[in-house]
Amino acid sequence: MRNPGNMLRAAVLVLGITAVISSAVAFDYRDGSAVRDRGGDLASLYAFVPNVGGEVGPLTVALTIKPYALSVAEVGKDTEYSIRIRAAGLAGSGERLRTKLGAAELAITCNYFDHDYQIGCIASHISADGSTRVLGAVSGDLGDVMTAPGMRAMSALRSDPLLINFHATLNCLEDDEVEFLGLDDAFKRRVHPKFRNSIEHKKMNVVGLVIEVNRSWLPQEAGLPLIAVAAQSVDVANDGTRTPLDRIGRTGTSTFLIQDDEARNGWNATDPYDVAGATAFRAEMQRGLTAVDSHSRRAYWAWPHPLLELLLSDHLLLNPNVPVAAIDASRNNYFELEWAAYTGRSLNGLAGGRRPIDNSISRFFAVMARQAGRHFAQLEALKHPLYRQTHAAFPYLAAPYEKPDTLFSRTIEELNPRSPTIRGCVN
């Protein structure tokens, strides 16, 4: 049965489809006007604990900066980048599901300097009373692996992989879901020989910042077995004035779910752990959820959306004690903790978080537009055949794109969207 928001749905659908499709080719690439095209524009956030020789490895966090970057110099010399981590847990199930957060925080704050040729990062423990204790620091040249007791870091121009197969996604849709036809055009542009030398192919480059930290540094609190990771960029003026620019947690929050420009700007300026402040965006997020839900082939989600309050706590949740293989494509860890809790299942053995190989966009649609079911496994397994392979070890993110004349020297058959090596959906 359709929910009471049908009249609103019709209005939102006109605007929402455009926003959803335009951002379907990216993670956090179509952001609010206040940060768009600025150095502090955050692109993607990854967090996972790698399996290192059968042992639980260090917490690994990868933050990508400046969508469509052409050089590291675009990060902004006056911008501070922070990766923030708190103890967390999930309470309740169904529409009562909520994230619980600890008060203490591990903050890793990084700055680019010396004409953006070098970087420095400081890891600090911030207690509930605000007192700060430095745990470690690294600094060095871009592209070098910087190490210090308890942490390792690297930053350079990298490639932000988009693991989604637009053609196979279309196979998962019903004939009347014509709004997704725009995805087909986007996909064809990426595989058609006519566009092989287009600058468009270089636009998935980002500035990658990858950091490993000792898990003993992670905030711990009784009853909160998980950790919540978020990232934030802040401009720091000469007089010390701090202006928040962007924030990122889960995939697609400020692109799929908060679609109004003014609201996006306000959301990005809100502290990632200010859950109370985030409730000011409840109505806007509901509108975004309605727009995404309009793609559903099933009965619509209830009104208000059962995941609304959970999603207002926009953090990447993971279990720091469950190691995972960095490039095991048979597993998709993204959003698995939240979905298991929502459906009342045990979280035991689930890693959560997000690796560069996790197909978060497809899982987003599987949950928000398909309400899981059989499409959950099908959509999440789709892979885009074009984007670069990620690394199995630190620093994980793929190297920058090759020059167009070498990247697209491969045969068009190799990039064929109907290749039998690409899993699609069977309706």
The model's pLDDT over 107-120, given as tens digits with 9 standing for 90+, comes to 999 999 876 789 99
Q: How many CB atoms neighbour CB 15 within 10 A?
A: 13
Residue pair 268/245 in contact by the 8 Å Cβ criterion: yes
393: part of which helix (H) or strand (E)? none
Q: In this predicted structure, what is the pLDDT of residue 197?
A: 35
Residue 197 or residue 137, greater confidence: 137
Tell me the pLDDT of the chain averaged across its residues: 78
Answer yes or no: is 263 within a domain. Answer: yes
Q: Is the pLDDT of residue 249 over 80?
A: yes
277: part of which helix (H) or strand (E)? helix 275-278
Percent of the chain with pLDDT over 90: 49
Q: Which domain holds residue 277?
A: 6-407
What's the rounded Cα separation, in Å, for the pair 213 and 57?
Answer: 9
Q: In this predicted structure, what is the pLDDT of residue 373?
A: 58
Phi, psi torsion values for 409, nearest 5 degrees: -80, -10
Q: In this predicted structure, what is the pLDDT of residue 114?
A: 78
| Closest C-alpha among 383, 385, 394, 334 to residue 360 | 334
Q: In this predicted structure, what is the pLDDT of residue 47?
A: 97
Residues contacting 146, CB < 8 A, separation 6+: 119, 121, 138, 139, 140, 152, 153, 154
Residue 350 or residue 398, greater confidence: 350
Q: Is the pLDDT of residue 406 over 50?
A: no
Residue 25 or residue 305, greater confidence: 305
206: part of which helix (H) or strand (E)? strand 205-213
pLDDT tens for each residue of 155-189: 998 887 655 544 455 455 444 444 444 444 544 44
Q: In this predicted structure, what is the pLDDT of residue 60?
A: 98
Burial class (CB in 10 A: 0-12, 13-18, 19+), 211: buried
Q: In this predicted structure, what is the pLDDT of residue 421?
A: 34
- Gap between the terminal Cα atoms of the chain: 22
Residue pair 425/362 in contact by the 8 Å Cβ criterion: no
- Number of structural domains (the chain) is 1
pTM over 0.95: no
Window from 213-227, 356-370, 379-393 with minimum mean pLDDT: 379-393
Answer yes or no: is 242 within a domain. Answer: yes
Answer yes or no: is 121 within a domain. Answer: yes
Q: Is the pLDDT of residue 337 over 80?
A: yes
Residue pair 355/333 in contact by the 8 Å Cβ criterion: yes
What's the rounded Cα separation, in Å, for the pair 387 and 408?
Answer: 11
Answer yes or no: is 418 within a domain. Answer: no
Residue 277 or residue 380, greater confidence: 277
Q: How confident is the model at residue 332 (pLDDT cuts 50, 70, 90)?
A: confident
Region 319-338 average pLDDT: 90
What's the rounded Cα separation, in Å, for the pair 50 and 58?
Answer: 7
Q: Is the pLDDT of residue 307 over 90?
A: yes
Region 352-373 average pLDDT: 79
Q: Is the pLDDT of residue 52 over 80?
A: yes
The label of the residue with tokens 């809790």 reads 341
Answer yes or no: is 414 within a domain. Answer: no
Structure tokens at 298: 């099933």
Q: In this predicted structure, what is the pLDDT of residue 361?
A: 75
Q: Is the pLDDT of residue 330 over 50?
A: yes
Percent of the chain with pLDDT over 70: 70
Region 288-292 average pLDDT: 88
Residues contacting 188, CB < 8 A, separation 6+: none
Q: In this predicted structure, what is the pLDDT of residue 38?
A: 80
Q: In this predicted structure, what is the pLDDT of residue 282?
A: 96
Answer yes or no: is 196 within a domain. Answer: yes
Burial class (CB in 10 A: 0-12, 13-18, 19+), 20: buried
Q: In this predicted structure, what is the pLDDT of residue 53?
A: 87
Strands (E), 237-383: 242-248, 316-318
What's the rounded Cα separation, in Å, for the pair 354 and 335?
Answer: 8
Q: In this predicted structure, what is the pLDDT of residue 401?
A: 62
Helix, coil or strand: residue 376:
helix
| Closest C-alpha among 318, 294, 317 to residue 305 | 294
Residue pair 327/320 in contact by the 8 Å Cβ criterion: no
What's the rounded Cα separation, in Å, for the pair 389 and 164?
Answer: 13
Answer yes or no: is 416 within a domain. Answer: no
- Angle at which helices 6-23 and 181-191 cross, to 10°: 0
Strongest mean pLDDT among 22-36, 80-94, 196-210, 318-332 = 80-94
Region 402-420 average pLDDT: 40
Answer yes or no: is 300 within a domain. Answer: yes
Residue pair 266/376 in contact by the 8 Å Cβ criterion: no
Burial class (CB in 10 A: 0-12, 13-18, 19+), 103: middle
What Å distances lie between residue 15 and 12, 18, 219, 287, 303, CA to CA? 5, 6, 41, 11, 20
Window from 68-72, 150-154, 374-378 with minimum mean pLDDT: 374-378
56: part of which helix (H) or strand (E)? strand 55-56
